[in-house]
Structures are given as structure tokens and as C-alpha cells.
Structure 1
Amino acid sequence: MKKSPKEIIWETVKTFLYAIVAATIVRLFVFETMLVPTGSMIPTINIGDRLFIEKITYQAREPEIGEIVVFWTPFRDERAERMLRPFDKFMDVFSPKEFRGHVKYVKRLVGKEGDVLTLKLINGKWKLFVNGKIPENLKNVSYQLDGIFKYPDFWKYLDEASRLRKNPAKYKNYLYTLSLKKGSRLANLVFGIIGGLDPVPYGIPYHEYVDKYLKDINISDYVWEKDGQVYVKIPKGFYFFMGDNSSESLDSRFFGFVPKEAVIGRPILRIWPLKKFGPVQPLINNN
């Protein structure tokens, strides 16, 4: 029996709606994409790469030390937000409510809850020690001594500066005083992360992250200095991430711990640019 034009239109609409529902389910629970805005993981991942992320593996198990992980920033990165393309901004509608308006970072997992981290100079290169030894998966990665590993109170300075950011006079005075007491490099580093409000917002409102995730954590219990060596212990419910391209990576050395619920998944495929289409990382099995 031949269908009427009205029936054909209705069948087309239903098919379209089913496709949207199916795509949304896949997007929410199975796969997702991200555009990489920075060079923090060069040469493994480059600026402008678009990655295909699968979300099933880390629902079944925790990521392992050395694996590359995609996660929501637990704070708003106003600079990175401005770098997103229309497609990424549209897909933000499907993000979890607590991370809506946040951006995705891709870094390597270097510390899990209970782990104690420190950087040591070995043959002219800074190597990461986890619980007293270099993990097998990180032996070929070198880091830059910076952030919390260089300034044990670094996260405190970020928090204090962030709370003053909307008051330009007090904010400038804080940075000036910090520069006099601790050096201009530290003050410039704090300003580079916290940013300012003129002419439009840019930077990280760090205190919002502290109030939401770290309000019950005494940082001095997790960061300490002994014999000139800074140690960082990962609190329960958090991870510590660092980028391979250490000198260009805004990572946990600078912003701190990442809550487990911020993890999205593992990048398995580079889908753009086409000439570099292919897998990003193998699965790591430490068992």
C-alpha cells in the first residue's frame, strides 16, 4: 500500500529523531571528541589535533600510571574557552552539569590517590619519582622543575591572587608584594595563570576550584619539603596529571589535583589532520 506524503514526512521525522537520540546516547556514554588547543603533549599529540575519546574503559577500571587521559578542567579556563570552535561549543550542551562551560585537557596520569611524588635530577634531567621509584611507563619522560615542585606554597598564592582578581588595585598590590618577597618570576607565573579582567575575562578563577573541591583538604598535609626536596601526596578521590612537553604544559604542577569524576576517557584515535590519522596510545596493563 502506497504511503501518503504526510506518512512519508512523519516516517522521515521519526527516523531523524531516532538518529538524534542514538547519537546523543553514544555521545554521553560511549564516545566523544576533543580539539587539542595547546602543545602540552608534543610530540605525541600536537596543537590542532582532533582526538576520538572512548569512555568505556575507565568506567570499568581506573586509568593506570603512564596512560594519557582526557578530563574536564575542574575550573574554568577562560583562555582555552575562547580557542574552542563552534562545534565544540555546541557539544558543550551535552556535558555533565558540573563541567558545563569547562574545557577538556589531555595529559598523562602520573599519580593516583595515596601516591607520593617528587622530582629528582638524574643525569641532567628531572625525573618523576612515584613512591620512591620511576614508573616503568615514565622512564622516557623528563619534566621541568616548576609550579608546586619549585614553590611549595604555589597553590596558596594562586588562591589568594584569584580572590583579589576582581579588585584591580588589591590584585596589583598583591602581585607587587609577592614579587618583592618571593621574586618576579613567581609573581609573573601567578599572574600568567590567574590572568585579569581587562578588556575581557581571561585566565583561571582558581578560588572557585578551591572552594568546590579542596575546602575540606589541608594542603599542608599533602605538600611538604624535606632536605630541599618537595613531596606531593595525592588525596583520596583525586589524580595528578602532567604533560610530556613539560615546559609548555599547564598541568597539576600548577593547578593541583583533579577529582576522579572529571575524567572523561582515553584518547584512542587521532582523526584530524587526516595525514596523521591513527591510534594515539596503546593500552597499558600493569598487572
Structure 2
Amino acid sequence: MELRLFIVACIMYAFTLITRKISKMEHFKNPIIFGLWHFVFLLLILSCALFIFLFVMGGGAGGLFPFDKFLIGEVIVLGVAIYGFIAMQKADAAKQEKTLKSDLDWSNTVYFAGFVASIVMFFFLQAFKIPSASMRNTLMEGDHLFVNKAAYGLHIPFTDKYIKAKDVKVGDIIVFKFPARDRKQLNCGGQTQYGRDFVKRVVALPGDKVEIKDGHLWVNDEAVPQQPYELYTDKFRVTDIENDDPKLYQKLWQEHKLDSYIGSELKDVFGPVTVPSNNYFVMGDNRDNSCDSRFWGPVPRKNIRGKAWFIHWPIKKIGFIK
């Protein structure tokens, strides 16, 4: 989202600079040129608003926009822009001057707000909407929350590096970019998750040995005590899956391809695997209905957006996330 806001801010900043230059050259005295420029302004600012609106309504999870909604929105935007062009053909000089001032004011407001918001969201805070039931009952579908992006350190822009502040701990609920390596990679029931943001709980750290036996977590050959937030719904369990080649098993898991070979049984019987350096093993609290590290592998440190921090909607759930 922060990159989208930054792009919007850059577009509106460029529009403002060009508008001021053309205005000084007095080209706007021509009604057709002024009308076309107002058309471009409406097209840009309304398209940017639609762009952000669809992203937010889609949950901010990094997925593609619904094409039908985007198309309908753009048709409306185009209609408004055409109306603005026609209206400016009939406007007198005073009306044109007032419209130009309004266009510039809006452009200045949008690019300034966009730059500030993108900086805040890139380094400190990001809004996120829970897209699925995998974190029930800790986080429910539709919950809106803030992600603390500075919880583990500051990300250096346009790199995979960061200035470390705190270590990721077992029990932390994190938001991260799905670790797929290409757009065509299929996970979670044959779906592409590339570029999406996920939210899960960290259950194992780099170097830990992880297994799932009868649906329950084991770390470093010890059963992890069941926590109050864990939810189990399945009555029947797969009790055994052949693992004749541990090295291949580990390799497929680290390459995020294991679920393509084994499938849904991984929720009951998994591993053992060793979490690689600078990677983490994450699971959903709704253990029987979560597509997580059991299926698609470890989460690299560079993919972590931040720590789930505060629920701000619905009102009855407002509070810090534990």
C-alpha cells in the first residue's frame, strides 16, 4: 500500500509542476487546452482514488483488483472527466481561473498527504484487514488492525535490509509477504498467493526442529503445550505419512512446494524439518483450517512486514493484540 501511495503522490506532484509551467506560458487561455487539462486532472485524481479504494476494500492483502469492479469504476471516472471537459468549454475566464486554482489545491493536498502517508506506512504503521478464518478466534474475518512495522526494526527502502531493533519471538503474530518465488506458484489448494500479505503466529525460530504429530506441534523433540488460543475442529486425524527421503522433504519444504506433493494431510502429520537461518515457522491459531508453514514452507525475515499490534474495528474489539 505504501508504494501505491508513493506512486500516487509522485503522479500528482508531476501534474502540479507541469500545470504551473503551462499556466505561466498562458496556454490555458485556449478553452480546448484548458478543458483537456481539466479532463486529465479529473482522470488522474479520480483514478488514483479508485486505485486506493479498491485496494483498501480488498483488505489490503496485496491481491489483484476485481476486474469487473475496476472496469465499472473507470467507466464512471471517464464519464466524470468527459463532463468536466465539456463544462470547461462553456466556462468564462473567471470560472476557468477558479477551476485551475481548485485543481492545483487538490493536487497539492493529494501529493503532500500521499508522501507523508507513504513514509509513515513504510516505516511505522500499516492498516490491515483479516482476510480469512485462519487466525480464529484471536482474529476474525473482517477485523481491521494496525501493524507495527517498527516492532523488529526499520526497513531500508528498496532493499531487503533492515536496522534491527528486537528479535522475532515465539508467540508473536506477524504480517508478512507470502514467500512464493514466482507468480505462477500454486499453494493453498491450487491457488496463487504471490504478493499477498498473510497474518500468522510464530511457533518456531531459526534452527528449531519442527514436527506435527496427530495435528499437534512438536519443537526440538518436545510436545508444545496446547495454548488457549489454539482452535481444533477436525475429529479424525491422519496418523502416518511416509517420509523415505528426509533431505528431499526438507528441500521441497524450503522451496515452498511440499503441499504440491503431499497435500492436506500435512496439517496432521508433518516433518521433521529444520527451520533455516533467518526464517521462521508460522501457523494459524485455527490449526485445522490454516494454510501455513506446514504447507508452503518457512517465512524469510525479509518478508516480515511487522507485528500485528492493535485492532481498531469492530468497536467492541478495540484493543491491543496479544
TM-score with structure 1 setting the length: 0.55
Residue of structure 2 in register with 1:44 after alignment = 138
For residues 187 and 210 of structure 2, the distance between their equivalents in structure 1, rounded to whole angstroms, comes to 29
1:200 alignment counterpart: none
| Distance 1:260-1:120 versus aligned 2 partners, 3 A rule | same
Partner of 2:219: 130
What secondary structure, in the 3-state scheme, does the structure 2 residue paired with 1:17 have? Answer: helix
Identity fraction in percent: 30
User: Displacement, 1:117?
Assistant: 1.4
Aligned residue number for residue 62 of structure 1: 167
Which residue in the other structure is 2:121 paired with?
27
In the alignment, the residues of structure 1 paired with residue 297 and residue 170 of structure 2 have an alpha-carbon distance, to the nearest angstrom, of 17
Whole-angstrom CA distance in 2 between matches of 1:35 and 1:78: 23
- Pair 1:79–1:64, CA change in 2 (3 A): closer
Residue 65 of structure 1 aligns to a residue whose secondary structure is coil
SS at match of 1:27: helix
1:260 alignment partner AA: R
1:142 deviation in Å? 6.7
Identify the residue that residue 307 of structure 2 maps to in structure 1.
266
Q: Is the 8 A contact 2:187 2:259 kept in 1?
A: no
Aligned-partner residue type, residue 239 of structure 1: Y
- The CA distance in 2 between the partners of 1:111 and 1:130, in whole Å, is 7
Following superposition, the deviation at residue 105 of structure 1 comes to 0.8
For the 8 Å contact 2:145–2:309, the answer to whether it is kept is yes
CA distance in 1, matches of 2:310, 2:125: 11
Which of 71, 74, 77 aligns to 2:176? It is 71
Equivalent in 92, 107, 125 of residue 200 of structure 2: 107
Task: Please give the residue correspondences for 1:143-182 in structure 2 after superposition, counting only pairs within 5 Å.
Answer: 150=241, 152=243, 153=249, 155=252, 159=257
User: Structure 1 residue 12: deviation in Å?
Assistant: 6.6
Q: What TM-score do the two structures reach when normalised by structure 2?
A: 0.50
Quote how far apart the aligned CAs of 1:261 are: 0.6
User: What SS is found at the alignment partner of 1:57?
Assistant: coil
| Aligned mates of 1:129, 1:101 — CA distance in 2 | 29
**What is the count of residue pairs matched by the alignment?**
196
Which letter does structure 2 place at the counterpart of 1:263?
I
Letter of the structure 2 residue corresponding to residue 35 of structure 1: K
- CA deviations 1:155-204 (Å, max 9, x no partner) are 47984996xxxxxxxxxxxxxxx8xxxxxxx56x49xxxxxxxxxxxxxx
3-state DSSP class of the match of 1:56? coil
My pick for the range that moved more, 7-16 or 33-42, is 7-16
* Higher RCO by CA contacts (8 Å cutoff, separation 6 or greater): 1
Displacement, 1:232? 1.5
The Cα shift of 1:229 comes to 8.4
Tell me the distance in 1 between the aligned counterparts of 2:187 and 2:131.
10
